[in-house]
């Protein structure tokens, strides 16, 4: 990353503080670099930056309703529909109604599962882990694993191809902010794990690139009796996240970073009080995050910056244009601001451009690009 160059200049009518105390009848737009970590300028416009009347071309905001995806049974994660992808990141959505009948291993990179619905148990090299809706389950590259279903599962899968997931640097707020790493859960070599030891023939499906190889064992290779080290499957529930907040300043999405990966970050937006200062912005700001594509998966609650969005939907805002709150949400925040935000969403910001697949196109809301129009 190049050395930062500062342009500490003010021009015309502007506020003294980003995201607060706007000049009357103006709309703020942030043009920023490096995913909210880099230099930025805040413009004040006479019209909403999303007030377009027509749009042609493939570069546009998109929304996908994953509830409309085919629920055909995929007992292997490698057959779940691939929706968005680039060289570093692959995003799938997996419906699993029955327990897996074989083991799997990802030889391409770490796998992050977000459990949107259902419950079950993971059996892996490290032991046995129970999970339910709202859990992240981070599976290191090369781990052998399978899932037993308790209640039918809907899982957002995020692969870090060629890389690994880690925790963000927390800087001034200290290592225990947002969540204490001590709250992370790891699998246990418990009675449930020991019970599945067997001498039966077991298949392991290994994904490497676009191919699947099958390894056959005359026993169950999940037969560890113990382990030690600092590499493991870990799990975190969104309810254990304690978001950073300011009553006077609307914090950028980077303040909600949960995991960092090679080429992208994963953030979690969880319920929190709304900024209470009279001059503070109370919805996400209009922004041109020109170095990153933005994907938002909506998990739970009322999504305060969007109209007609329900759990199980995904929005995709590629770099290259300004986006932000819908007009109704923005107006309501100015005239009847809420005091509490009840929403849970997973955001994936990628440094390199994402492509979307034909499977995603089948469940796209074609008129989403015009949802910012005042009606």
231 & 133 share domain: yes
Q: Are residues 114 and 209 in the same domain?
A: yes
Domain boundary among 211, 238, 265: 238
Single residue among 180, 213, 238 that ends a domain in this structure: 238
* CA torsion through residues 311, 88, 235, 99, sign: positive
Instruction: Please say whether the dihedral angle defined by the alpha carbons of residues 323, 325, 331 and 334, taken in this order, is positive or negative.
Output: negative
Q: What is residue 23's predicted lDDT score, i.e. its pLDDT?
A: 86
User: What pLDDT, on the 0 to 100 scale, is given for residue 312?
Assistant: 94
What are the tens digits of pLDDT across the range 62-92?
999 998 987 766 788 999 999 999 999 999 9
Residue 1 has pLDDT above 60, yes or no: no
Q: How many domains does the chain have?
A: 2
284-300 as b/e, with b when 16 or more CB fall inside 10 Å?
Answer: bbbbbbebbbbbbbbbb
* Bridge partners of residue 91, in order along the sequence: 84, 158
Adjacency order of strands within the sheet including 313-317: 62-65, 313-317, 293-301, 343-350, 264-269, 257-261
> Could you tell me what percent of the chain has a pLDDT over 70?
96
195 and 277 in a common domain: no
Query: pLDDT tens digits, residue range 231-251?
Result: 999 999 999 999 998 898 888
Which of residues 217, 238, 259 is at a domain's end? 238
| 3-state SS class at 93 | strand
My answer on whether 94 and 232 are in the same domain is yes
Mark whether 202 and 275 lie in a shared domain. no
Report the mean per-residue pLDDT for the chain: 90
Q: Which residue has the higher pLDDT, 332 or 312?
A: 312
In this structure, is residue 228 part of a structural domain?
Answer: yes
> Quick one: CA torsion of 259, 256, 372, 307, rounded to 10 degrees?
90
Higher-pLDDT residue of 166, 305: 166
Whether 254 and 195 map to the same domain: the answer is no
pLDDT in tens, 257-285: 999 999 999 999 999 998 888 888 878 88
280 lies in the same domain as 145: no
Task: Please give the residue range of the domain that contains residue 231.
Answer: 83-238
In a domain, 113, yes or no: yes
Q: Within a domain: residue 77?
A: no
| pTM reported for the whole predicted model | 0.92
What CATH number does residue 202 fall under?
2.60.120.10
Q: Is 53 a residue whose pLDDT tops 70?
A: yes
Residues 287 and 303 in one domain: yes
Q: In this predicted structure, what is the pLDDT of residue 92?
A: 96
Q: Could you report the per-residue pLDDT of 185-235, keeping only the tens digit for each?
A: 999 999 999 999 999 999 999 999 989 999 999 999 999 999 999 999 999
Q: How confident is the model at residue 112 (pLDDT cuts 50, 70, 90)?
A: very high
Same domain, 161 and 51: no
């Amino acid at each position: 990353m190049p050395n930062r160059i500062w342009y500490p200049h003010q021009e015309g009518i502007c506020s003294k503080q980003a995201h607060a105390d706007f000049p009357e009848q103006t709309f703020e737009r942030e043009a920023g670099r490096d995913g909210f970590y880099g230099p930025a300028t805040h413009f004040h416009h006479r019209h909403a930056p999303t007030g377009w009347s027509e749009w042609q071309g493939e570069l546009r905001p998109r929304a996908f309703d994953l509830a409309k995806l085919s629920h055909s049974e995929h007992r292997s994660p490698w057959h779940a529909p691939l929706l968005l992808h680039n060289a570093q990141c692959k995003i799938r959505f997996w419906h699993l109604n029955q327990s897996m009948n074989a083991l799997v291993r990802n030889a391409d990179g770490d796998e992050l599962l977000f459990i949107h619905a259902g419950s079950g148990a993971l059996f892996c090299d490290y032991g046995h882990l129970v999970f339910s809706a709202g859990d992240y389950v981070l599976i290191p590259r090369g781990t052998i694993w399978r899932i037993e279903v308790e209640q039918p599962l809907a899982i957002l899968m995020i692969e870090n191809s060629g890389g690994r997931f880690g925790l963000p640097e927390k800087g001034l707020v200290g290592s225990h902010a947002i969540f204490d790493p001590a709250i992370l859960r790891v699998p246990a070599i418990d009675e449930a794990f020991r019970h599945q030891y067997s001498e039966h023939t077991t298949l392991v499906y290994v994904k490497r690139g676009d191919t699947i190889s099958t390894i056959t064992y005359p026993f169950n290779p999940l037969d560890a009796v113990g382990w030690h080290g600092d590499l493991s499957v870990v799990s975190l529930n969104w309810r254990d996240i304690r978001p950073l907040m300011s009553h006077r300043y609307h914090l950028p999405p980077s303040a909600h970073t949960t995991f960092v990966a090679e080429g992208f970050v994963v953030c979690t937006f969880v319920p929190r009080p709304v900024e209470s200062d009279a001059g503070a912005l109370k919805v996400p700001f209009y922004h041109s995050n020109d170095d990153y594509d933005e994907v938002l998966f909506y998990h739970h609650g009322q999504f305060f910056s969007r109209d007609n969005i329900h759990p199980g939907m995904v929005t995709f805002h590629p770099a290259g244009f300004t986006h932000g709150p819908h007009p109704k949400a923005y107006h309501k925040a100015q005239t009847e601001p809420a005091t509490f935000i009840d929403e849970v969403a997973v955001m994936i910001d990628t440094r390199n451009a994402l492509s979307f697949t034909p499977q995603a196109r089948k469940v796209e809301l074609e008129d989403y690009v015009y949802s910012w129009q005042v009606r």
